[in-house]
Every structure is written in C-alpha cells, then in structure tokens.
Amino acid sequence: MIYLSIFAALVLFFALVMLVARSLYWEPDLNIAGPPGTDAAGRIDEANDAMSFEILLRAFGDDDQRFITALGDKHVERLLLFERKRIALRWIRRRSAEARSIMREHANRAREASDLTASGEARLAFRYMELLTLCEMLSLGVFLFGPAGLQKFAVQTNMALSEIKRFGNVGADTVTS
Amino acid sequence: MWRKVLPADVLRAYEDFSSRSLARIPSALERLIYIASTRDYNSGLYHHEGLAARFDPVAAAKALEYAHAEVFHEVSLMPLGKLSDELEKYMQSAKEEPLAFLTAWQKLEPYRVAIPMHVDPTVAELFVSNIKIALAVLRYRLPKEAGHQSGASLPPSPAPRSLPQFRS
C-alpha cells in the first residue's frame, strides 16, 4: 500500500512539474509565416526534416555550453541556459504538434480505407504513444536540467517521429492505391 | 544543407550574385546583413541594381531571396564561438563605439530585420536567441579588451555609419 502511495505521489509530482513547465512556455514574439507552400510537398518535408535535425543538434548539443563555460561569466551562462531551454521546448512542442497532425490526417484517410490492417494500426498507435511519452519526458528533462546532455534522447524522439511519418505515409499510400 | 532546386534563370542570377558580390564579403553575418539590406522594408521585395540589370528582375529578386534564406540558415546554425567572433568583426567594421554599438543592438534589436519572410519559425527563434547570447559575450569581453576605457554614458557618434557598402 505504501508503495502505491509513493507511486501516486511521484505521478502527481511529475504531473505538477509538467504543468509548471507548460505554464512557463510562451509563444515567440516573432510572427514568421514559415516556408511558402509548394506542390513538391515531399521536398519540403525533406527540407524540414533536415532543418529540424540541425536545430536539434544546435539546441541539445553541448558545444555552445562548453564555449560559454570557458568564458566564465555566470550571467552569460544563465542567459544561454534560459535561451536554450526556450528553443528546446519549442522544438519539442513542434515535433509533438507534427505527430498529432500526422495522426489526424491518417485517421481521416483511414476512415475511407478498405484494407486497414489491425497490426499496422496498432503499431502506429504504439509509436504515437511512445513519441508523446518521449516528448513529455524530454520536456521534463529540459525544464529541470536544460537541454545540454539530452541530445541522444532528442535524437530518439526525432527518430520516433520519422517512424510515425513513415508508417503514416505507408497507411496513406495503402488508402490511395 | 538541403538545397532547393531553382529554375535555370534564378540559378544563373544566384551564381552570379554569389561570385560577384557575396564572395567579396568575408563573414556570413556580414553577408546576411548585406542581403537583408537589398530587401525593401515596406514591401518585402528584394532589389539589386546590378543583378536586375543583368538578369530578369523577377529572377534576380528570387535569387536574392534564396541567397538570403541560405545565408540566414548558415548564421542561425553557427556555433556561438564563431558567431561571437563574426559579430565582433562586424562591430569593428562598423567603426562605431563598441559600447554604443552593443547597447543599440541589445535595445533596438536591429538584427531582426535580417530574418527572411518565409523561414522556419524555430530557426528564426534560434537566430534571435544566438545573437542575444553573442551580444552578451561581446559585452562581457568588452571591459577586458577595452580596459574600461569607454564610459557607458557616451552617446553614439553623431554620424553613425549605416550598413557597410559591399554592392558591386
């Protein structure tokens, strides 16, 4: 019974921390439209993936932190941590939103599909849950410790999103073919 | 970096612009500021006299837009150490009082005009974020290098220089 109470307390604690983390996140003051639409959607996706990965490397990498630590100014160190947390949380939010968008689109197409496989759908649902969990855990890690050192975790999240994209596209191809 | 496939006329204009103008500018940050200066603040349209005279004006504008996006990504994803060095070189080339330069850049944030119109919002955020940190780095380095010679109360020079002139 006591273990159950401890477990429930931990769950509540992490839920509270997540709520605080979310409340501290704010929308950027930049009003940027994003890349213009094009008929070569695949090419844009490819570009976005490459760009997303480069942002990941920069936001979650520790090169910049090493440079600032060597500088030896606490104010700049705090500024770096604050800014990197902001960028990293924004990156996570966007990956999470992207996954939700893929799943929504997939669900719309799946309604009209005649040859859905239960195993394929279960696999996609499992990957989606895995990604959402990874995003929440990564957000918590970034909020508590900062993004530096969490690069492997971020790469894993990015890979989970790529898997969802692939599975989602396979589903879409099945529907359209 | 992934490169967009450009129409032939735009590609020719881009290559001409890269070899004639951009190649003469040593740092990516200066290239970015230079290309941003070819964009009209009100319309968001790009114009370069030399390029528009040699190529179709629409193709020339698209070439400038592409070059802008490319250099912007390069600067945004640059390591902080390199960005700080490039910003320091730019500050020196502006021939402005360093403290006045840093104060203006930190308060007025003129670097925001260097953000292309259509860009990944996270990259734009990363750019702004990195410039803020690089400015803080330069401010931290300043007293040591300048030996506390410049007072914080000094006003900017009466005839501040505008963007460096690189145009061909």
Mean pLDDT of chain A: 81
pLDDT greater at residue B64 or residue A13: B64
pLDDT greater at residue A23 or residue A69: A69
Does A19 map to a domain? no
Q: From CA B138, how far away is CA B88, in angstroms rounded?
A: 7
Contacts of A34 in chain B (CB under 8 A): 118-121
pLDDT band at A118 (very low <50, low <70, confident <90, very high): confident
Q: What is the pLDDT of residue A34?
A: 57
Q: What is the pLDDT of residue A27?
A: 54
Is pLDDT above 60 for A68?
A: yes
Q: Give ipTM to 2 decimals.
A: 0.79
Q: What is the pLDDT of residue B127?
A: 96
Contacts (Cβ under 8 Å, ≥6 apart) of A14: A140
Q: What is the pLDDT of residue A24?
A: 55
List the 87-126 stretch of B: residues with Cβ below 8 A of A: 112, 115, 117-126
Q: pLDDT tens across B8-26, in order?
A: 899 999 999 999 999 999 9
The structure tokens 């599975």 sit at A167
Q: What is the pLDDT of residue B152?
A: 43
Nearest by CB to B125, from A30, A33, A67: name it: A30
| Among candidate residues B142, B146, B139, B74, the one with its CA nearest the CA of residue B107 | B139
Q: From CA B4, how far away is CA B1, in angstroms rounded?
A: 10
Does A1 map to a domain? no
pLDDT band at A13 (very low <50, low <70, confident <90, very high): confident
Mean pLDDT throughout B125-134? 96
pLDDT band at A51 (very low <50, low <70, confident <90, very high): confident
Number of structural domains (chain A) is 1
pLDDT greater at residue B20 or residue B155: B20
pLDDT band at A31 (very low <50, low <70, confident <90, very high): low
- Beta-carbon contacts below 8 Å between A and B: 93
Nearest by CB to B129, from A33, A73, A83: name it: A83
Q: What is the pLDDT of residue A113?
A: 79
pLDDT band at A176 (very low <50, low <70, confident <90, very high): very low
Is pLDDT above 50 for B167?
A: no
What 3-state DSSP class applies to B39?
strand
pLDDT greater at residue A30 or residue A53: A53
Q: Which domain holds residue A133?
A: 56-177
Per DSSP (E only), the strands in A24-171 are none
Q: What is the pLDDT of residue A177?
A: 37
Distances (CA, A) of A142 to A81, A177, B5: 10, 42, 37
Burial status of residue A136 (CB atoms within 10 A of its CB: 0-12, 13-18, 19 or more):
middle
The answer to whether residues A61 and A151 touch, using CB atoms and an 8 Å cutoff, is yes
Contact flag A51-B81 (C-beta cutoff 8 Å): no
The alpha carbon of residue A152 is apart from the nearest alpha carbon of chain B, in Å, by: 19
List residues of chain A with CB under 8 Å from any CB of chain B. 28, 30, 32-36, 43, 46-48, 50-52, 54-55, 58-59, 63-64, 67-68, 71, 73, 75-76, 79-80, 83-84, 86-87, 90-91, 94
Contacts of B120 in chain A (CB under 8 A): 32, 34-35, 48, 51, 55
Mean pLDDT of chain B: 86
Which of A102-106, A119-123, A157-161, B66-70 bottoms out in mean pLDDT, i.e. has the lowest? Answer: A119-123
Return the axis-axis angle of helices A151-176 and A41-60, rounded to nearest 10°: 170
Mean pLDDT throughout B120-137? 95
pLDDT band at A43 (very low <50, low <70, confident <90, very high): low
% of chain B with per-residue pLDDT over 70: 82
The token duo for B65 is: 């837009």
pTM recorded for the entire structure: 0.79
Nearest by CB to B121, from A30, A59, A73: name it: A30
Indicate the residue type of B118. H
Q: From CA A154, how far away is CA A147, in angstroms rounded?
A: 9
Contact flag A87-B126 (C-beta cutoff 8 Å): yes
The alpha carbon of residue B161 is apart from the nearest alpha carbon of chain A, in Å, by: 27
B3 in contact with chain A, both atoms CB, cutoff 8 A: no
Q: What is the pLDDT of residue A171?
A: 53
B6 in contact with chain A, both atoms CB, cutoff 8 A: no
Is pLDDT above 50 for B154?
A: no
- In B, minimum Cα distance to A92 occurs at B122
